[in-house]
């Protein structure tokens, strides 16, 4: 009887425990009981357990919220894009086409305005040939570069009946009378039908950032004055060969290593002969007495005019300070 009684008592205790556990799990007050649970081992913190339990209970709701957010985002972005494309196709496309047509009309024709900015052609005079020595001839063509902001590096030669001169190069400064000259061409007879041939012109723009006022720049440097011209002709003034003398003054403050010129021998404003002239180390405000002889007849020469064969825009032409 005792054994039976003990067995029945054990079964009753087990049944009571199962009922208690079932009641805790399915009772409406179970969350309150769960929140009061503390893990005796300390391996599972109560906060993490609560968070996991809350996530499990609201997992479906969170999924629905995420899907709803993605749907709303797609509707807004895709809908806005479709609205923008539709608006462009039905309204803005025609407006863009009209604007494009106006732009084509309003853009200036640069082929028309280009001549206003490009270099203008050189102004060339007539070609002359002067005898500088027996069987030696000088070819001469006056030239002016009309462009205020361009230097012209000209490669040229002369052809004549029976031959052609060597190729020469000259740098033409803006708006300054100069000459394209070949000195001392050897020929058995006077070279007739002389013709200037320009092979190439290299235009070099003068930057306004470097030289703001080209005219002022030249006016300060290109000041060479010829005075007291004396002409002595052979057989008339007791000299063996024609002789020309004058005073040359560099009236600027800039010293030059070796300025080179074409000396035009003028008779009433007409050129009847030329002479190459080179002056060594001509300092600022210095005056030199120049004398040269020529094989050409200088009867009637009344004046001498110098045309520069060097460029005042070339810094290498200037003497350094203290030289």
Structure tokens of 15?
Answer: 């049944």
**Comparing 26 with 300, which gets the higher pLDDT?**
300
pLDDT band, very low/low/confident/very high, at 232 (cuts 50, 70, 90): confident
Q: In angstroms, rounded to a whole number, what is the distance separating the alpha carbons of residues 279 and 289?
A: 10
Q: Is 153 domain-assigned?
A: yes
pLDDT surpasses 90 at 80: no
Q: Are residues 44 and 69 in the same domain?
A: yes
Taken as a whole, the chain contains a residue count of: 323
Count of domains for the chain? 3
Domain residues for 172?
123-207
Assign residue 169 the CATH number of its domain.
Answer: 2.60.40
Work out the angle at residue 304's Cα, subtended by the Cα atoms of residues 299 and 306, and round it to the nearest 5 degrees.
145
Let me know if residue 172 belongs to a domain.
Answer: yes
201/235 same-domain check: no
**pLDDT recorded at residue 52:** 75
Cα separation of the two ends of the chain: 143
* Percentage of the chain lying above the pLDDT 90 cut: 52
Q: What is the pLDDT of residues 186-219, one digit of tens each?
A: 999 999 999 999 999 999 999 999 999 999 999 9
Instruction: Select the more confidently predicted residue: 32 or 188.
Output: 188
Look at residue 98 and tell me whether its pLDDT is greater than 90: no
DSSP string, 106-144: HS--HHHHHHHHSPPPPEE---EEEEEETTEEEEEEEEE
**232 plus 319 within the same structural domain:** yes
Give 258-280 pLDDT, tens digit per residue: 999 999 999 988 999 999 999 99
Residue 155 corresponds to which tokens in the numbers above?
């490669």
231 and 323: one domain?
yes
**Where do we find the tokens 């803005």?**
92
In-domain check, residue 277: yes
With bands split at pLDDT 50, 70 and 90, how would you rate the model's confidence at 106? low
One domain for residues 236 and 322: yes
> Same domain for 192 and 227?
no
Residue 115 in domain: no
More confident site: 15 or 70 = 70
pLDDT at residue 321, as a whole number = 78
Are both 239 and 194 inside the same structural domain? no
Instruction: State yes or no: pLDDT of 21 exceeds 50.
Output: no
Please state, in angstroms and rounded to a whole number, the distance separating the CA atoms of residues 29 and 35: 10
Same-domain check for residues 231 and 305: yes
Q: Round to whole Å and give the CA distance between 261 and 294.
A: 15
Mean pLDDT of 9-30: 50
User: What is the H or E stretch that residue 220 is in?
Assistant: helix 214-221
| Region of 199 on the Ramachandran plot (φ > 0 left; ψ -120 to 50 alpha; else beta) | alpha
In a domain, 110, yes or no: no
More confident residue, 205 or 27: 205
Residue 265 lies in a domain: yes
Does the structure show a pLDDT above 70 at 2?
no
Helices and strands (DSSP H and E) totals, the chain: 6, 14
Residues 202 and 234 in one domain: no
Q: Tally the C-alpha atoms within 13 A of residue 149's C-alpha that lie toward its C-beta.
A: 12
HSE of 103 in the Cβ direction (CA atoms, 13 Å)? 6
For residues 203 and 261, state if they share a domain: no
The maximal CA–CA distance of the chain, rounded, in angstroms, is: 180
């Amino acid at each position: 009887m005792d054994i039976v009684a003990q067995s029945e008592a054990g079964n009753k205790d087990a049944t009571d425990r199962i009922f208690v556990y079932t009641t805790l799990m399915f009772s409406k007050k179970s969350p309150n009981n769960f929140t009061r649970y503390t893990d005796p081992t300390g391996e599972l913190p109560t906060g993490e357990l609560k968070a996991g339990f809350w996530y499990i209970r609201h997992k479906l709701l969170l999924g629905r919220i995420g899907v709803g957010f993605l749907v709303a985002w797609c509707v807004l972005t895709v809908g806005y894009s479709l609205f923008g494309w539709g608006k462009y196709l039905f309204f803005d496309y025609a407006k863009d086409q009209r604007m494009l047509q106006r732009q084509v009309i309003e853009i200036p024709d640069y082929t028309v305005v280009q001549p206003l900015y490009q270099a203008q052609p050189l102004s060339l005079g007539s070609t002359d040939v002067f005898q500088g020595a027996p069987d030696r001839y000088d070819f001469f063509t006056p030239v002016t570069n009309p462009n205020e902001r361009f230097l012209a590096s000209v490669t040229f030669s002369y052809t004549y009946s029976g031959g052609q001169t060597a190729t020469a190069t000259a740098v033409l400064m803006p708006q300054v009378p100069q000459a394209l000259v070949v000195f001392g061409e050897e020929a058995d007879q006077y070279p007739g039908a002389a013709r200037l041939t320009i092979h190439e012109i290299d235009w070099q723009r003068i930057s306004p950032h470097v030289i703001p006022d080209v005219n002022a720049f030249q006016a300060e440097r290109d000041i060479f004055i010829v005075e007291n011209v004396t002409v002595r002709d052979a057989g008339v003034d007791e000299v063996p060969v024609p002789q020309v003398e004058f005073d040359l003054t560099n009236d600027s403050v800039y010293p030059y290593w070796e300025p080179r010129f074409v000396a035009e021998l003028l008779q009433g404003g007409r050129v009847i002969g030329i002479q190459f002239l080179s002056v060594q180390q001509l300092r600022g405000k210095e005056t030199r007495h120049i004398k040269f002889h020529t094989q050409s007849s200088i009867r009637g020469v009344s004046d001498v005019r110098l045309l520069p064969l060097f460029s005042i825009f070339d810094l290498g032409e200037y003497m350094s300070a203290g030289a």
